[in-house]
Amino acid sequence: MKNNKLIVCLTAAIITLHACKKDADLPKLPEPINEPEVITSLTLTFTDSANASNVITASFIDNDGDGGNQPSTFDTIKLKPNITYFTSLSIFNSIVNEEITAEIVEEANDHLFIYKPTGIDLAITVTDSDSNTPALPIGLKSKWRAGNVGNGAVQIILKHQPGIKDGTEAPGDTDVDLNFQTKITN
């Protein structure tokens, strides 16, 4: 009987000690994953810097997301020569009916839009930045200076760079990679 009491007491002591492990002894839980965005539409809004009533839009819409059906809308960007445009992006995920622009602003330190004009006289400067030190570009707002009449394209890339954003295109995953046909015409 003495042995049974001793065994019960020892077992209780071991269970109590084992249950009182410090947090440092517990396995670490993984950090929450900052998942890439699902983007089904992107709209560029161009406002003439000299005439705010002169507004142009160009959209890309692919309601089922990447793969599947072809985009229902893929506009050509049409700008006037020798005009500077203040440009903004709006982004949407129609699969879950969610406007994503605000989420990208919230996670600005993890996102970067890159603009690559080719074959056309067009200068693009990103005008917004995140809260990194030093501040790095985001690209939801930019200034586009259309030069001479011509045709080309503008590639728009959204990089998802959680914890690795350095202001360049290289690190991270690509959420969007679109080539908008672009015309500068009278």
Tokens of 134: 């030093």
Q: What is the mean pLDDT of residues 113-127?
A: 98
pLDDT single digits (tens) 80-100: 999 999 999 999 998 888 899
Say if strands 73-74 and 173-184 run parallel, antiparallel, or are unpaired.
unpaired
Under DSSP, the state recorded for 9 is H
**Pairs from 99-103 (Cβ < 8 Å, separation ≥ 24):** 100/37, 100/39, 101/140, 103/37
d(CA 131, CA 121): 32
pLDDT(23) > 90: no
Task: Give per-residue pLDDT as tens, 47-57.
Answer: 999 999 999 99
Q: What residues contact 77, with CB distance under 8 A and at least 6 apart?
A: 44, 46, 56, 58, 154, 180, 181, 182, 183
> Which of helix, strand or coil describes residue 182?
strand
CATH 1.10.20 correct for 41-184 = no
Cβ atoms 124, 115 nearer than 8 A: yes
More confident residue, 16 or 45: 45
Whether 44 and 65 have beta carbons less than 8 Å apart is answered as no
Mean pLDDT score of the chain: 86
Instruction: Between 173 and 30, name the one with better pLDDT.
Output: 173
Sheet holding 173-184, edge to edge: 77-79, 173-184, 150-160, 111-118
Q: Is 121 helix (H, G, I), strand (E, B) or coil?
A: coil
